[in-house]
Structure 1
Amino acid sequence: MKPIMLHGHERSITQIKYNLEGDLIFTCAKDSQPNVWYSINGERLGSYRGHNGAVWCIDVSWDTTQVLTGSADNTCRLWDCETGKELAVLETLTAVRSCGFSYSGRTLMYSTDKTMGHPCEIHIYDVRDSTQVSNQSPAMVIPSESSKITAAIWGPYEEYIITGHENGEICHFDVKTCEKLISVKEHNKPINDIQASKDMSMVISASKDFTAKLFETATLRHMKTYKTDRPVNSAAISPVMDHVVLGGGQEAMDVTTTSTRIGKFDAKFFHLVFEEEFGRVKGHFGPINSVAFHPDGKSYSSGGEDGYVRVHTFDPEYFDFRFEY
């Protein structure tokens, strides 16, 4: 399983996203330039230039016409996917930590950091309403009183937003009433990443408490726990197999003092149901910050602290592998 190495970032990768068809990979990093690549051969298509700080999050609409990026330069920017033209700059008071398009692509949301006396908030815009975007008057602002939001995604049917918090909470925020509908606290350390399954029936959370946990999307009922021996920075659910992949590694500041062998920088594969680890993929020279499965399930990508994105295509044996039970 020889990977394709994508090197277009000077600093550590923060997030990887595939578009709906899976022919493009969108990456952002702690440098100020998000990139887009062909997933089949790793050729870089182009960059989105305009940010002045680390870009924490990236998302692409379902029809691959628009790209959304959130950055530490206190802006969330909307881009034309094809031309790289900047369509809108949504200015905020603090850094933008997570962002996303709803399933229809009609609305977008982003969450801001709780710093310098400013609260943590979710801002929601209607993309079709140009006056909303140009005047920077969001359709809705949802405050998060409890703890800073570190990860957020849209729920199915665009009725609520699923958020992961610094204190380990996972919540549903209603988009119409701005109320917190459900809150569960299965993790005891900050949540680094939340990703949904292909049919949106399950979500997986990755946390600094060395675990990833599987939840039912609608009720946030905790179903499975995948235990590791390191902080988990990202976790993804395979769209075709009962598998999950976890990426992580020890804290970036401790990396220089350890070899790659001890640092545990490999991607780990677990069985979705049995919670058993059955495979590891080595390669990164630092913690893995983001993992994502290709929509067809035949490959996956991982982005690390070393600034590289590695695209791994699975060997045929991977699809023949079955757990005996």
Structure 2
Amino acid sequence: MNQSQHTNNTSIIRNGGTAEGERIISLEKDIIIEYENLVANVDRMNQLITRINTNEVLNLINKLRTLEKKRPILLQGHTRSLTQIKYNREGDLIFSVSKDQIVNAWYSHNGERLGTYNGHVGAIWSVDVNSTTTLLITGSADNSAKLWNVQTGKCLHTWEFKTAVKRVAFSEDDTMALAVTEQRMGYPGTIVILPINPDIGAQRPKAMVAVWGNLNKYIITGHEDGSIALYNWKDGEKLNSIHPHTGEITDLQASEDRTYFITSSKDKSAQIFESNTLMPLKKYVTDAPLNSASITPIQEFVILGGGQDAMQVTTTTMRQGKFECRFWHRILEEEVGRVKGHFGPINTIAVHPDGKSFSSGGEDGYVRVHHFDNDYFKFRYPELS
């Protein structure tokens, strides 16, 4: 009985030992697999690290650390509350406006102030810059909108309104801008479209003188660059333009029936043109700059006046300054006489409607009224007698 029990116990121990061994073997296999996986992952990480430039990793880390520590740039150029800021299209400039009446321009990369635009007398509510960064528009509580040259800071144009301008913006093609006005004091809020000429470099000659054409059909203008233009006054359309003078046109006077007119110019000449076509008819060339020209209604004469520039008068005698009224034959284009008297340049000449007298006004401050004698009306040019 004891032997049998011993045999059974031995069998149980053997069986138990075998199960434990298998469990250990299985655990060892799992450990080996995990180790192999770990080694494989380490190998893959080493391969990835070898493909990355160590300097690039360090630079990236440094940039991230710098970005965390970097502080914003503070732009201190206003003394009152900011109302709007704008970037230009390229992003290199910032424009800021506030209630202190000043427009500031800044470099966006370092915050350096480029300049200011001064001209408003009230808080500035809005600002916008065109796509080429050549024009700037602002709207203000002084009831105006202003157009600026970005580069020079010069105010190019001012639009006046009944109430404050709360918002301005350029159109996509820069040919228009909108202005939103405030509803206040009985005036309704409006949205106004403003025409914009984006070509600020375009030179437009300044009109110096103008007259009505015959039957009030046209307006004729003389310009600073010596050009003459014909306009339809109803729609402002320019119908014709010529450039007969090389200097500024100083005077433009129409004939009695307005079918033709005469011009005087700093280029020392006067000319007569047909009103409807601007066709040149006559030309009178002198030896001094001309400030005025007039047509006599009775005799075939034109009267011209001018002389040396007023800034040089103090160093010039009356004879050298050529301060005379000059009579030229209208048809033959020849000078027939002069009337002296002024001791400075003659600035303006006018002929009496009945043709019996004329007046001249000079830099000397005097108006000289001349009455023609009977010989004047009896005068006949030899070639026409």
TM-score > 0.5 by shorter chain: yes
Tell me the residue number matched to 2:93. none
Determine the C-alpha separation between the residues in 1 that align with 2:309 and 2:298.
32
Deviations 1:109-132 (A, max 9, x none): xxxxxx96249xxxxxxxxxxxxx
2:213 and 2:259 in contact (8 A); partners too: no
Deviations 1:245-292 (A, max 9, x none): 001001000100011111100000000000100010000010000001
Which amino acid is 2:213 matched to?
Answer: G
- Aligned counterpart in structure 2 of residue 204 of structure 1, from 262, 265, 268: 262
Which amino acid is 2:232 matched to?
Answer: D
Tell me the residue number matched to 1:105. none
1:270-309 pair list within 5 angstroms: 270-309=328-367
Which amino acid is 2:374 matched to?
Answer: P
Gap runs ≥5 in structure 1: 1-114, 120-140
1:1-325 pair list within 5 angstroms: 117-118=156-157, 146-325=204-383
2:208 and 2:222 in contact (8 A); partners too: yes
Determine the C-alpha separation between the residues in 1 that align with 2:376 and 2:311.
34
Which amino acid is 1:195 matched to?
Answer: Q
More strand, by proportion: 1
Aligned partner of residue 377 in structure 2, secondary structure: helix
Determine the C-alpha separation between the residues in 1 that align with 2:357 and 2:304.
14
The share of aligned pairs that are identical, in percent, is 54
Which amino acid is 2:235 matched to?
Answer: T
Aligned partner of residue 156 in structure 2, secondary structure: coil
Which amino acid is 2:317 matched to?
Answer: S
Determine the C-alpha separation between the residues in 1 that align with 2:157 and 2:376.
48
CA radius of gyration, larger in: 2
Structure scoring higher RCO (CA < 8 A, sep ≥ 6) equals 1
The normalised TM-score by structure 1 is 0.56
More helix, by proportion: 2
How far does residue 177 in structure 1 lie from its aligned partner after superposition? 2.0
2:272 and 2:282 in contact (8 A); partners too: yes
Determine the C-alpha separation between the residues in 2 that align with 1:212 and 1:309.
22
Which amino acid is 1:306 matched to?
Answer: D
Deviations 1:1-28 (A, max 9, x none): xxxxxxxxxxxxxxxxxxxxxxxxxxxx
Determine the C-alpha separation between the residues in 1 that align with 2:156 and 2:331.
43
How far does residue 241 in structure 1 lie from its aligned partner after superposition? 1.2
Alpha-carbon RMSD across the aligned residues, in angstroms, is 2.0
Aligned partner of residue 117 in structure 1, secondary structure: strand
How far does residue 173 in structure 1 lie from its aligned partner after superposition? 1.0
Determine the C-alpha separation between the residues in 1 that align with 2:332 and 2:339.
20
Which amino acid is 2:367 matched to?
Answer: V
Which amino acid is 1:177 matched to?
Answer: D
Determine the C-alpha separation between the residues in 2 that align with 1:254 and 1:171.
32
Gap runs ≥5 in structure 2: 1-153, 159-194
Deviations 1:201-259 (A, max 9, x none): 11000000000001011111001111111000000000111100001001000100011
How far does residue 324 in structure 1 lie from its aligned partner after superposition? 1.8
Moved over 3 A (4+): none
The normalised TM-score by structure 2 is 0.47
Structure 1's 226 and 116: CA in aligned 2 closer, same or farther, altered over 3 A?
farther
Aligned residues: 189
Determine the C-alpha separation between the residues in 2 that align with 1:248 and 1:324.
28
Aligned partner of residue 382 in structure 2, secondary structure: coil
Which amino acid is 2:234 matched to?
Answer: K
Structure 1's 159 and 264: CA in aligned 2 closer, same or farther, altered over 3 A?
same
Structure 1's 258 and 215: CA in aligned 2 closer, same or farther, altered over 3 A?
same
